[in-house]
Amino acid sequence: MKSPVIMMLLTYWNLTMNNEPYINAAGHHILEYLSPDTIILNTDFIMTSGKRLTKGMPYMKVEKKIIGEDVTAVRLLNFQDYEGIIYLNVEDLKTSRCYNLSWNMEYEGDWWFWSLADIQTLTTIPT
């Protein structure tokens, strides 16, 4: 059972979420809420059909390491945005470990530390 302090913080955090579209300072439409379960995260490292991410769906996560990459199957458990940061709560399907992936939606550069892809996109990438 989660402590009352953690539950209070989570409740506060959820109450401060506005679920509004996010357009960054450069004028790029980064985040769109389609439903309570689906968002569009318009970044180069989201490689899904239509840039959509849906709660409960599996994705392949590629994480850049100092040397090489780590590829893991994850399930999206939840998402939330707060003050220009998107948080994706995922579960590693092999280990059942849960953790957050986060991204500053104001960042306009080409560097990324992680990427998510769905099976449809992975199987239709031209070789």
36 Cβ neighbours under 8 A, 6+ residues apart: none
CA distance 53 to 59: 9
CA distance 44 to 62: 13
Higher pLDDT, 53 or 68: 53
Q: What is the tally of structural domains in the chain?
A: 1
Cα–Cα distances (Å) from 57 to 34, 77, 102, 112, in that order, read 15, 8, 18, 22
User: Is 14 in a helix, a strand, or coil?
Assistant: helix
| Amino acid 2: pLDDT | 57
| Amino acid 109: pLDDT | 76
For 9-47, the pLDDT digits (tens) are 656 555 555 678 888 888 899 999 999 899 999 988 899
In the chain, the amino acid numbered 94 is K
| Amino acid 76: pLDDT | 96
Higher pLDDT, 99 or 67: 99
- Residue 111's domain comprises 4-124
For 68-122, the pLDDT digits (tens) are 888 899 999 999 998 899 999 999 999 999 999 999 998 887 778 889 999 888 7
Q: How far is CA 40 from the centre of its chain?
A: 10
